[in-house]
Amino acid sequence: QVQLVESGGGLVQAGGSLRLSCAASGSIFSINYMGWYRQAPGKQRDMVAVIFSAGNTVYADSVKGRFTISRDNAKNTVALQMDSLNPEDTAVYYCRVGDSGRISWGQGTQVTVSS
């Protein structure tokens, strides 16, 4: 079982920045990808950004050019640098890890962007 611990959420004004971090621990075999998803009130959970073991990345159109995902394979950590935040980015952000066919989710961290 993989445990994920997230940190870095909070309250920020529009135009500001936040950095989220997620650390994976436990029975890790081979992490295929690490990513961030978000869920706003009353909406479904959507992919924000994913980074694969080879380093290639995928971003949601709504965050391209503003968010940057990075990963430290040796430490099994993933970070999401979020710049130029706007109120539409307000959501609970979840870390997700794919490890040899198993999917694990973090507990979520709240990001609130005020206008």
Per residue in 31-63, pLDDT tens? 899 999 999 999 999 999 999 999 999 999 999
User: pLDDT (tens digit, 9 = 90+) per residue, 70-90?
Assistant: 999 899 999 999 999 999 999
The CA distance from 100 to 17, in Å, is 33
Write down the residue that tokens 């394979």 correspond to. Answer: 73
Q: Is the pLDDT of residue 115 over 90?
A: yes
Tell me, what amino acid is at 104?
S
> DSSP class of residue 76?
T
Reduce the DSSP state of residue 89 to 3 states and report it: helix
Residues 6 or more apart whose Cβ sits within 8 Å of residue 100? 29, 30, 32
